[in-house]
């Protein structure tokens, strides 16, 4: 028997579910706090209740480390409950501690079902917590308000104030300062008119005063005695309306726990019902479409489609679930790098399929870490470039019904294409003359595995660390990744992936003897041999003229190992996430509702890259059909073109 005994083992599943649900609630609170930069009194009570429940449940399961850890946090939030309001410094510390706690809980929950599970030590986290609680004790002393006047001749007063505050933070806690937004265009004017006000812990006031006086840009500094009793900032916080509505929604809604495996099985059952419908349609056609059967067929299909929609809605998760992790990533890397970075999140209210959300989580972490680590410059460097010392990263997620688009944009140093090209050349990655590479092609080199190494620390170094993870994840999902970058303006990484669906309206056709399919949403037009005049022969290949565009004509026959002497008669114009392509087929069988199954792992992603096949479809005839994907086909075409050039 492992860690759990016969008394606790039967409760493990319930415990896991409860902890996951509480973890989700804590994440929600943190996501709201990241936006408002403050805990409301309701939040403080809510966090207290969550850690209290975690403490009791963990103790019951014999998870004493976690229970003691939660207990200590409970003590801290008890203090906060009594205070009712937190200073910005206390808010920062509380968030830091909660992120640390969540990380520990996540780690424990990940391994809890393993036979060799044993709780992780909490000594480091507890020490941190105790240190913060010690500081809290000191904080009961009054904070001192200082008014700093900068010299009239001092240019860019807001930037100078930012540098001064960062310097002071090294020797003391600066609890608050005004103007609080030094990025604001009016910040310099405010400093000129009212001075820079700082609230400093009384214990370190002398050291702070000395440091301020030594600054060449400071004209004078004085204590503001009438306001020194208490830090004035804390006020009862009103959460943004959106967050409040979300909380209300959560409070009022009636939820129940559902096992994901059950949802997945339900989805499989619906897939089988749709396959059964294809069999029925086949039989109906074979029997000459007898009367009455068509009504039965359409009623059946309507019910199954409703079921499908309901199941999909159950599988949806709000993007907010991963938002705290994004904030945490940015916060941690920025802190270790000594950078000041703000993450702006848009579209977090969107709900997307759980599998998609899980798939996105890892690549997003890589992209954000790279943006903070290698994209955004150090504050001093930004100032020298005339930028605000604070860096900004914009995360945006959108769903247009069929495509999920996720972008991460930073206002950092951008990527230097010449250096990337040099590196690619050094690594032997160039397949043609370096002069003919387009900017997009050059930027794509960073998606190669291990492209960037740690031996260089420059404007593009590190961008490749893990970027192949992003490409692989998008490949797995039949999606794409695009990089745009301008030196000194920043980099944008856009990931696009199709929205998951149990059933796909598809067009069925033959390539040689193979039954193939494509989602109808990717097929723009079907032409036949009669439209041959649209074919344009060029030295580098054949093209099809469509809507004033020349699209590459692509045949899969020889790739599929089929006889090529009989030429294909149909031209399918396909629209991928980024490009269009013309695919040749032998015929068109018709339209069908297909249930796409993933390829077995023995074939995997590489097989998809080599064939353009994204999945398998069980046809009504009992045979297996091959689902193609426009993006995979375009990439396959490009790959062949590149190989042709190399050879």
**In contact, 618 and 592? CB cutoff 8 Å:** no
Instruction: Please choose, out of 33-41, 141-149, 517-525, 605-613, the segment that lies near other proteins by the rule CB under 8 A.
Output: 605-613
| Among 355, 378, 603, 641, contact with other proteins (rule: CB under 8 A) | 603
Span interacting with other proteins, options 10-18, 582-590, 593-601, 638-646, rule CB under 8 A: 593-601
Helices then strands, counting H and E runs in the chain, come out as 19, 22
To other proteins, the closest distance from the beta carbon of 260 in angstroms equals 15
Query: How many chain residues bind other proteins (CB under 8 A)?
Result: 26
| DSSP label at residue 464 | T
Stretch that binds other proteins, among 176-184, 309-317, 399-407, 621-629 (CB under 8 A): 621-629
The one among 597, 638, 640, 641 contacting other proteins by CB under 8 A = 597
Nearer to other proteins, 394 or 560 (CB): 560
Reduced to 3 states (helix: H, G, I; strand: E, B; else coil), residue 399 is: strand
Judged by beta carbon, residue 530 or residue 602, the one nearer other proteins is 602
Q: Indicate which single residue of 115, 287, 602, 647 sits in contact with other proteins (rule: CB under 8 A).
A: 602
- Cβ atoms of residues 408 and 424 within 8 Å: no
Place of tokens 């930004």: 382
| Binds other proteins (CB under 8 A): choice among 527, 560, 570, 579 | 560
Provide, rounded to whole angstroms, the least separation between the CB of residue 514 and other proteins. Answer: 5
Q: Please tell me whether residue 616 binds other proteins under the rule CB under 8 A.
A: yes
CA 522, 525, 527, 533 dihedral sign is negative
Among residues 464, 466, 422, 474, the alpha carbon closest in space to that of 444 is found at 464
The answer to whether the beta carbons of residues 36 and 246 sit under 8 Å apart is: no
Q: How far is the CB of 579 from other proteins (least distance, A)?
A: 22
111 versus 604: smaller Cβ distance to other proteins:
604
CB-CB contact of 3 with 119 (8 Å):
yes
**Any bridge partners for residue 251, and if so which?**
none
Q: Of 77 and 634, which has the nearer Cβ to other proteins?
A: 634
Stretch that binds other proteins, among 243-251, 384-392, 528-536, 595-603 (CB under 8 A): 595-603
**Among residues 69, 514, 554, 571, the one that binds other proteins under rule CB under 8 A:** 514
157-169 helix and 205-214 helix, angle to the nearest 10 degrees = 140
Beta carbons within 10 angstroms of residue 466's beta carbon? 18
Looking at 326, 618, 630, 633, which residue binds other proteins (CB under 8 A)?
Answer: 618
Cα 397 to Cα 31, 100, 407, 408, 485, distances in angstroms: 16, 26, 6, 9, 19
Give the nearest distance from C-beta 283 to other proteins in angstroms: 16
Nearest CA to 37 out of 107, 86, 83 is that of 86
How far apart (Å, rounded) are the C-alpha atoms in residues 636 and 133?
59
Name which position in 513, 565, 646, 647 contacts other proteins (CB under 8 A): 513
Q: Which is nearer to other proteins, 560 or 570 (CB)?
A: 560
Coil, strand, or helix at residue 231? coil
d(C-alpha 497, C-alpha 224), whole Å: 57
Enumerate residues 211-230 that contact other proteins by CB under 8 A: none
Q: Does 280 bind other proteins (CB under 8 A)?
A: no
For position 511 contacting other proteins by CB under 8 A, the verdict is: yes
Of 400 and 606, CB closest to other proteins: 606
Q: Which is nearer to other proteins, 144 or 628 (CB)?
A: 628
CB-based burial label for 239 (10 Å; 0-12, 13-18, 19+):
buried
Residue 109 main-chain phi, psi, to 5 deg? -70, -30
Closest contact distance (angstroms) between CB of 626 and other proteins is 6
Residue 222 CA: distances (Å) to CA of 155, 196, 213, 456, 531:
22, 11, 10, 47, 84
Among positions 556, 593, 630, 632, the unique one binding other proteins when judged by CB under 8 A: 556
Among 31, 143, 613, 630, binds other proteins (CB under 8 A): 613
Give the footprint of other proteins on this chain (CB under 8 A): 272, 275, 511, 513-514, 556, 559-561, 597, 600-604, 606-607, 610-611, 613, 616, 618, 622-624, 626
């Amino acid at each position: 028997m492992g860690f759990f005994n016969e008394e606790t083992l039967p409760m493990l599943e319930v415990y896991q579910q409860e902890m996951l649900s509480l973890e989700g609630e804590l994440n929600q609170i943190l996501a709201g706090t990241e936006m408002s930069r403050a805990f409301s009194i309701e939040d403080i009570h809510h966090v207290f209740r969550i850690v209290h429940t975690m403490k009791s449940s963990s103790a019951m399961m014999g998870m004493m480390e976690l229970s003691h850890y939660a207990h200590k946090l409970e003590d801290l939030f008890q203090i906060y409950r009594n205070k009712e309001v937190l200073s910005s410094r206390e808010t920062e510390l509380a968030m830091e501690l909660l992120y640390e706690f969540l990380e520990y809980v996540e780690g424990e929950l990940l391994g809890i079902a393993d036979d060799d599970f044993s709780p992780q030590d909490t000594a480091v986290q507890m020490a941190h917590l105790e240190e913060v609680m010690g500081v809290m004790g000191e904080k009961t002393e009054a904070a001192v308000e200082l008014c700093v006047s900068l010299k009239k001749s001092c240019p860019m007063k807001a930037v100078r104030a930012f540098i001064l505050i960062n310097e002071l933070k090294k020797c003391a806690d600066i609890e608050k300062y005004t103007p609080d937004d030094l990025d604001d265009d009016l910040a310099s004017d405010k400093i000129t008119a009212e001075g820079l006000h700082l609230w400093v812990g009384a214990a370190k006031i002398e050291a702070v005063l000395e440091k301020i006086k030594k600054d060449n840009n400071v004209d004078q500094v004085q204590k503001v005695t009438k306001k020194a009793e208490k830090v004035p900032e804390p006020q009862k916080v009103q959460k943004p309306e959106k967050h409040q509505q979300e909380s209300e929604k959560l409070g009022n809604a009636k939820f129940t726990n559902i096992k994901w495996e059950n949802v997945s099985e339900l989805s499989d059952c619906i897939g089988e019902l749709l396959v059964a419908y294809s069999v029925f349609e086949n039989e109906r056609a074979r029997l000459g479409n007898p009367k009455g059967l068509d009504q039965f067929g359409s009623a059946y299909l309507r019910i199954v489609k409703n079921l499908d929609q309901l199941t999909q809605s159950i599988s949806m998760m709000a993007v907010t679930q991963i938002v705290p992790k994004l904030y945490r990533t940015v916060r941690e890397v920025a802190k270790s790098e000594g950078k000041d970075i703000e993450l702006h999140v848009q579209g977090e209210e969107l709900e997307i399929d759980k599998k998609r959300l899980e798939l996105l989580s890892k690549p997003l972490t890589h992209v954000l870490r790279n943006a903070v680590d290698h994209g955004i410059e150090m504050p001093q460097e930004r100032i020298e470039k005339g930028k605000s010392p604070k860096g900004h990263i914009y995360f945006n997620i959108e769903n247009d019904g069929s495509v999920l688009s996720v972008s991460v944009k930073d206002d950092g140093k951008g990527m230097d294409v010449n250096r990337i090209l040099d590196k690619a050349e050094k690594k032997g990655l160039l397949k043609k003359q370096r002069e003919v590479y387009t900017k997009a092609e050059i930027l794509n080199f960073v998606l190669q595995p291990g492209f960037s190494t740690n031996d260089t620390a420059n404007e593009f170094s590190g961008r490749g660390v893990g970027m192949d993870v992003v490409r692989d994840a998008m490949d797995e999902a039949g999606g794409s990744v695009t990089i745009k970058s301008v030196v000194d303006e920043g980099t944008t990484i856009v990931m696009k992936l199709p929205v998951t669906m149990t059933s796909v309206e598809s067009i069925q056709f033959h390539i040689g003897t193979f039954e193939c399919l494509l989602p109808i949403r990717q097929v723009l037009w079907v032409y036949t041999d009669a439209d041959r005049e649209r074919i344009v022969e060029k030295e580098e290949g054949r093209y099809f003229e469509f809507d004033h565009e020349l699209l590459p004509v692509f045949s899969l026959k020889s790739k599929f190992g089929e006889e090529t002497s009989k030429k294909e008669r149909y031209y399918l114009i396909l629209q991928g996430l980024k490009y269009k392509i013309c695919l040749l087929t032998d015929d068109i069988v018709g339209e069908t509702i297909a249930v796409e199954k993933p390829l077995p792992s023995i074939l995997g992603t590489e097989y998809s890259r080599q064939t353009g096949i994204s999945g398998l479809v069980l046809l009504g005839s009992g045979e297996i059909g091959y689902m193609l994907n426009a993006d995979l086909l375009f990439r396959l075409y490009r790959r062949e073109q590149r190989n042709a050039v190399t050879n």
